[in-house]
Amino acid sequence: MSKTRKILSIVLAVVMAFSVFSICTFADTDTATWTVEVTNTDGSALPASIPTGTIVKVTVKLQTNFYVGTVGLPVYFSEAFEYVDGSKVQAEIYGAGATRFGFNDNFDAGTGYNAVMAVYVPNSGAAGVASPIYSTATTILTFNLEAVSEASAAEVKLDASKQKSASNIGGPFYCGSRATSDVNTDETTTGQTFNVPAATTIVIANAAATPVLSGIDTGYVDDVNGYVYGIPVGEDAADYFEVENGTFDVSGTATGETLTVYDSNDNVYATYTVIIFGDVDGSGDVTLLDEEIVYGGASGVDISDDVVFFAADVDASGDITLLDDEIVYGGASGLDVTVNPYV
């Protein structure tokens, strides 16, 4: 038995002892309203469908018209989800340092579901310990789940049938009620009305396979710089690349244009900047206008644009010199400029 389980067992034993003493007391006007929210981990709304591998955040809130006693909170989720180890946060219900916690991330949920079980017991000897009334919905538990397999309607839910009651005394879902904030007074653990929300259902789709962009013929993918090059002047850049597990388009064949890679769900996966060596002004060909810029760079004019600099360094030396200018001048005069000086 792990240390966590052992502590949980002790806490549960304490809870059971409470329930034995409290079973004769009913408070049928007491109402607890539970709320379950499933969001992205930053709290934003989930999209209509999430891919496997997505981490979602579950937030459980409680609102009461009574002073909150011992709480047992099982949260159920379809087997398409798995609890993310270490992700749970339990609220200090009875004041800072005045709450004893139990948590089981592998609670017996029955067929078709996994579950976590959170337990809160006031530490009656702690300074400042008091039962609160939650007059507004108050977060008492958050944890994360990972979507691990495809599902058309994966559920996250509380289960009203698990509520502790006179006829279901072993029910794990309960919230003790007190008449005052004094945690040393008797509490009732059955008889409260629980308002439990309908299950939250989530569509989990298989994650798109990772797209892989590669060059055809002289086409070259420079993943370090985010550039694509190796395209002869006057040729169509689209003919020099291909994508496995996706598609791509390219905005034009000139320095500074963009090649965009999409996954099989048509989501943008990556973008690259097109480089045509010697075409430093982005016109798509190599002319004396390009040569002027390279000559300026070789003469000490600062070329601060990384893309322009890369296209002007046609000998791949790492700086702009008169050797680059000579090559670009040749290109403007009809000679070939290498499509990839890095190979």
Q: Which residues bind Ca ion (CB under 5 A)?
A: 279, 281, 283, 290, 313, 315, 317, 324
Q: Which is nearer to Ca ion, 121 or 303 (CB)?
A: 303
Smallest CA-to-CA distance from 217 within 233, 231, 235 is with: 231
Nearest distance from C-beta of residue 319 to Ca ion, angstroms = 5
Q: Which is nearer to Ca ion, 132 or 296 (CB)?
A: 296
What is the identity of the amino acid at 217? D
Nearest distance from C-beta of residue 282 to Ca ion, angstroms = 7
Q: Which is nearer to Ca ion, 187 or 324 (CB)?
A: 324
Q: Which is nearer to Ca ion, 292 or 315 (CB)?
A: 315
Beta bridge partners, 246, equal: 263
Smallest CA-to-CA distance from 164 within 73, 31, 65, 64 is with: 73
Quickly count helices (H) and strands (E) in the chain.
4, 20
**Residue 328 corresponds to which tokens in the numbers above?**
């670009």
Nearest distance from C-beta of residue 314 to Ca ion, angstroms = 7
Distance CA 46, CA 48 (A): 7
Nearest distance from C-beta of residue 284 to Ca ion, angstroms = 7
Using only C-alpha atoms, the chain has a radius of gyration, in whole angstroms, of: 32
Nearest distance from C-beta of residue 58 to Ca ion, angstroms = 56
Q: Which is nearer to Ca ion, 8 or 254 (CB)?
A: 254
CA distances from 320 to 220, 297, 304 (A): 22, 6, 12
Nearest distance from C-beta of residue 226 to Ca ion, angstroms = 20
**Residue 244 corresponds to which tokens in the numbers above?**
């496995």
Nearest distance from C-beta of residue 221 to Ca ion, angstroms = 22
Smallest CA-to-CA distance from 154 within 59, 207, 79 is with: 79
Nearest distance from C-beta of residue 154 to Ca ion, angstroms = 54
Q: Which is nearer to Ca ion, 97 or 234 (CB)?
A: 234
Q: Which is nearer to Ca ion, 171 or 331 (CB)?
A: 331
CB atoms within 10 A of CB 214: 11
- H helices present in 81-209, as ranges: none
**Residue 261 corresponds to which tokens in the numbers above?**
């890679």
CA distances from 321 to 171, 293, 316, 326, 335 (A): 80, 11, 11, 9, 19
